[in-house]
Chain A
Amino acid sequence: MFDFLNNLSQWAIPIIILVIVGYAYFKDVEVYEVFTEGAVEGFTTVVEIIPYLIAMLMAISIFRASGALEICLQILEPILSFFGIPRQIVPLGLIRPLSGTGSLGLVTELIQEYGPDSLIGRLASTIQGSTETTFYVVAVYFGAVGVKKSRYSIIAGLIADVVGFIAAIYIVKLIF
């Protein structure tokens, strides 16, 4: 199963490129010129994102470095432990939607400390794989097109994160 998926993953990019370039070539599109016409927008698109990503990252970094996140954790831990959620995993649940590098660092630490095949290691792996950095995605995706009002999307994204977190704990405890 994994070998198949891994092969698929390795083949995907070259095959997608070949199919799209090939299809265009046989449709008499000037492939080289048209590719570069599109690619020229790569830089400007990234430039559009700068203010949104910077705004998001600086606010999150203040919140984390100030110790406010730590205080939230101390309040949440006893409540979540009561519901059978291991306390070592609580920080990951809180950081995951805020910071991609932060949560990856935490997962690495947890795996090293408890071992990849421990309950905590499996939980950390599953949570990291099944959730996304919601704040980053909102900043980058909406920022790239200049959308300033994100409406309810952050809340919906956070609800998805919470459900993913709980579902990960439920299934890991059930299976292993």
Chain B
Amino acid sequence: MINHIWFGLISIGIVTAMLTGNMGPVSQAVLESVEEGAMILIRLIGPMSLWLGVMRLAEESNFVELLAKLIQPVTKRLFPEVPADHPALGAMMLSFSANLLGLGNSATPLGIKAMQELQKLNPKPEEASNSMCTFLVINTSSITLLPATVISLRVAAESSAPMEIIGTTIFATTCSTIAGLVADRVLRKIWV
């Protein structure tokens, strides 16, 4: 799948650039984008170290198992392949909490930590397991209670009611999460 998308983006892009005379901008954009990518990653090192440190403490003290038991009623259905008190569930719970509160910089490291735990249960390490796909889809559909970045943008633009979009955002994101979960279940059955 990803091979087709990747090749498609590159080949369609470059052929289009040839026809539209955009080769200059393309060659500039490629380098700019990879430099930007490196900057994103450098900024990620701090939060990543912080949360992997905190999560190690949570593991050593068995705190993640405690969290795992807490959300077991929900996760039993969403992640049937993950054992009930597995640390992956606790890590996922913290990652979802960070997303819900709009803590973007912490959500990524916690999500990656959860992925690492799920990878330990994965029989084929090169291939995403069912649980990993479900977890990823929940993340890409963006679960949020507080769209912090957007609110600060609206405040900066002198909105008379910067928070009025919280309700509509929660509605839209709930729809997209449900759609993602349904798609996850349906595609899993038909995907070869």
Contacts and interface: CB of A to CB of B under 8 A. Distances in A.
Interface of A: 1-2, 5-6, 8-9, 12-13, 16-17, 19-21, 23-24, 27, 29, 31, 34-43, 45-46, 49-50, 53-68, 71, 97, 101, 104, 107-108, 111-112, 115-117, 121-122, 125-132, 134, 137-138, 140-142, 144-157, 159-165, 167-168, 171-172, 175-176
Given A125-B153, A141-B136, A156-B184, A5 B145 contact: yes
Contacts of B74: none
Interface residues of B, number: 112
Contacts, number: 364
Contact of B183 (A59, A150, A160, A175): A160
Chain B's interface: helix, strand, loop or mixed, by majority?
A: helix
Contacts of B10: 58-59, 62-63
Contact of A35 (B54, B63, B102, B170): B54
Interface of B: 1-2, 5-6, 9-10, 12-14, 16-17, 20, 22, 25-26, 28-30, 32-34, 36-38, 40-42, 44-46, 48-63, 94, 97-98, 101-103, 106, 108-109, 111-112, 115-116, 118-119, 122, 125-128, 132-133, 136-137, 139-142, 144-151, 153-154, 157-173, 175-180, 183-184, 187-188, 191
Chain A's interface: helix, strand, loop or mixed, by majority?
A: helix
Q: Most B CB atoms within 10 A — which of A13, A35, A62?
A: A62
A163 B175 contact: yes
A61 B160 CA distance: 36
